[in-house]
Structure 1
Amino acid sequence: MLPIIKKAGVVASLLLIASTQAGTALAFDNPINIPAAQSKIGATSALLGSAVAGTRIVAVGLRGMIIYSDDAGASWTQARVPVGSDLVAVNFPSPKLGWAVGHGGVVLHSRDGGATWVKQLDGVQAAELALRQFQGSGAPEAAMLVEREKNLQAGGGTQPFLDVYFESETTGFVVGTFNRLFRTTDGGKTWTPWMDRTDNPGELHFYSIRGRAGSLYLTGEQGAVWRFDKASQRFVQAATPYKGTLFGLVVTDKDTVLAFGMRGSLYRSDDQGRSWEKASLGTPAGITGGVALAGGNVLLTTQAGAVNVSRDDGKTFQPVKTSRPMAYFGLAPLDDKRIVLVGAEGVRLESIQ
């Protein structure tokens, strides 16, 4: 069920109600306010996202786990993390500067390649930012956005962020459930709600955000893809024929867009999402991760433990043999011949033949 924890945005808040005597319950400590506990088994625990920071590998997972390796995975060190929330995605636009996001609406930032982290934002703060942004706004949709935000705030105000993407060291986005979209242009010192810049009246969840060379795309529920339109400064719909959940996407060197998700669903567009054609991995397993390599190849991973490579810009895929398959939740390229895979049994490095 771990891909569901990550991708479907179901907030399993780890509420453990214990009683020391009849009728007396221990108070709940919100994980967004509790540092992650130290563990010796981080590299073999469930991990949900990975990235490469220069030559360093960084992986994130449950209960605030962040680990890193400077020797290609031979040894791992646990980072100092200020939250115990489940972390689901991590992104490094440069070797030193990185961001991670997860449940509780947390946004973490590192300035030392992932060794130490600080909290830049959480769900409570994000809800307050959204209300301040839209209350009193003259925008036509402002009243609706305020009402929706108050409803979310009443439910705890800690909607999860499910992905993060930085175009540069200063400009980036975090996205999540119920149309959550925030942007920063100062490296996360301040965040601006962008929920009014999406063609998403049904408040569908956003599961991923990716881009390349100025292009930017979102994926979400009901087969939805959104493309950022520079002229209108909005994310406009570029929907696929699919009606299920799309977990993520890949933008290749040739500007081809591949959107993937549940039940082996895979769609390909070479015209910025205006039209789509169905591609296939030949599996009903959910496709949980994807990446474009520097050499032009595309890799996709599945919940069933498969790794597949395309050498023709995503038109066809062939299986890649791995040493010890597991349920994969994400991947990152270490170089053009090796990849970092994270999943149910931790983190592994594999060679691509």
Structure 2
Amino acid sequence: MWGSAVGACVAALLAAAPAHAFENPERTPAMSSTLAARSPLIGTARAGKRIVAVGLRGHIVYSDDEGKSWRQASVPVSTDLVAVSFPTAQQGWAVGHGGIVIHSVDGGATWTKQMDGERFSALAVSYYGKLQQTNASPETKRALNQAQTLATDGSTRALLDVYFDSETSGFVVGTFNRIYRTEDGGNTWTPWMERSGNPRELHFYSIRGENGRVLLTGEQGMVWQLDVTRTHFEPIQTPYKGTLFGSVLSGADIFVFGMRGSLFHSADSGRTWEKVKVPSEAGITGGMALGPGRMLLVNQAGTVLYTGDDGKSFETVKLPHPMAYYGVGDAPDGNIALAGSRGVRVEALPEADRAATRGAN
């Protein structure tokens, strides 16, 4: 099942592709293509001075010259990849359909497979079977029943986002309440489905963190915030009832965004929310904080939206070659990397923000 508006776009692209004999994409390396950097790419991240982008059919590309040229990475799978996280310049993780998790130790040039949906499913059945013997809580029972159902029908669930706050600790999240935690760089994983505060098993679309705070967004306008003391995600209902694709954390502020140009802001850790008006009704698919009061959003209509006043107003950033955008990330020298329907591009920030961020790069 496709997990977001981005997934729907990807599905449409795949439907138009020519048919070939089936090869399991979870066991088939990504094909080399001179057009990889111009094919649909979904997520982007910065690995030191390098820019890395991931997308369809296992394509991963990287640039060491601020997007002037791109090289294709060696990837052991050809499943669609939708998100990537680099906590350090060398160590990175990417996730995608089939429950795939791949790992790089060289800044995204080469990758190895760490996990897939079948192994995650078996892990969940074993973990919750043992946990049920000592902790027969409703949450544990529900997680075990779901894990057994998943294992029985032989299906795997897509992972839709990944977040690592260090080279050892991170989360992967996805459809139907899938969430796993690692503390050893992905060598082992712990299911967190009973800690998700998500009894309806809604899809998780994004996970983001800043300064020890971790936030999930998902279906039906739901947000979940990590209670570090309890190691449990606490559910928060926003005024919105549609899908929230992602969030931007900026100091004490939380912005969440999703379908039909929906953007909501909380200045008090999610206790209260206000709707923010933006000059487009297209689905917002990505966002990033640029510094205090400054933020960028991108959407499926090829619009980049900028605020320099903490979301009170937004202006449209005019770019020379717009496309449907699926993700946005940091790039060196005060630039941004934009992933979308026509690949990945590096563009300049508004001039004031280039000056503010150039020194940090």
The interval holding the TM-score normalised by the smaller chain is over 0.9
Amino acid at match of 1:135: G
* Deviations 1:161-184 (CA, angstroms, capped at 9, x unpaired): 000001111110000000000000
Q: Which moved more, 1:288-297 or 1:236-245?
A: 288-297
Task: Measure, in 1, the Cα distance between the counterparts of 2:88 and 2:184.
Answer: 15
Considering fraction of residues, name the structure with more helix: 2
Specify the SS of the correspondent of 2:123.
helix
How high is the sequence identity, in percent, across the aligned residues? Answer: 53
Shift of 1:56: 0.5
Give TM-score scaled by structure 1 length.
0.92
Q: Which moved more, 1:79-88 or 1:270-279?
A: 270-279
Task: Measure, in 1, the Cα distance between the counterparts of 2:9 and 2:149.
Answer: 20
Of residues 187, 190, 195, the one that matches 1:189 is 187
In the alignment, what sits opposite 2:7?
A: 6
Gapped regions of structure 2 (runs ≥ 5): 351-361
Specify the SS of the correspondent of 1:242.
coil
In the alignment, what sits opposite 2:275?
A: 278
In the alignment, what sits opposite 2:136?
A: 139
* Deviations 1:134-186 (CA, angstroms, capped at 9, x unpaired): 01322312222222112222333321100000111111000000000000011
Q: 1:17 and 1:150, CA in 2 relative to 1: closer, same or farther beyond 3 A?
A: farther
Q: 1:73 and 1:13, CA in 2 relative to 1: closer, same or farther beyond 3 A?
A: closer
In the alignment, what sits opposite 1:39?
A: 33
Of residues 320, 323, 329, the one that matches 1:323 is 320
Q: 1:44 and 1:17, CA in 2 relative to 1: closer, same or farther beyond 3 A?
A: closer
Amino acid at match of 2:101: V
The answer to whether the 8 Å contact 1:295/1:336 transfers is no
Of residues 295, 303, 308, the one that matches 1:298 is 295
Q: Matches of residues 91-102 of structure 1 in structure 2 within 5 Å?
A: 91-102=85-96
Specify the SS of the correspondent of 2:220.
coil
Specify the SS of the correspondent of 1:153.
helix
Specify the SS of the correspondent of 1:178.
helix
Shift of 1:334: 1.0
Verify: 1:113 aligned to 2:111, yes or no.
no
Verify: 1:265 aligned to 2:266, yes or no.
no
Aligned pairs, number: 344
In the alignment, what sits opposite 2:356?
A: none
Amino acid at match of 1:53: A
The answer to whether the 8 Å contact 1:6/1:48 transfers is no
Amino acid at match of 2:301: A
In the alignment, what sits opposite 2:151?
A: 153
In the alignment, what sits opposite 2:174?
A: 176
Of residues 193, 196, 200, the one that matches 2:198 is 200
- RMSD of aligned residue pairs (Cα, Å): 2.3
Task: Measure, in 1, the Cα distance between the counterparts of 2:311 and 2:162.
Answer: 23
Gapped regions of structure 1 (runs ≥ 5): 20-25
Shift of 1:282: 2.3
* Deviations 1:222-274 (CA, angstroms, capped at 9, x unpaired): 0000011123221011110100000000001x221100000000000111111
In the alignment, what sits opposite 1:231?
A: 229
Amino acid at match of 2:78: G
Task: Measure, in 2, the Cα distance between the counterparts of 1:168 and 1:78.
Answer: 25
Task: Measure, in 1, the Cα distance between the counterparts of 2:241 and 2:157.
Answer: 24
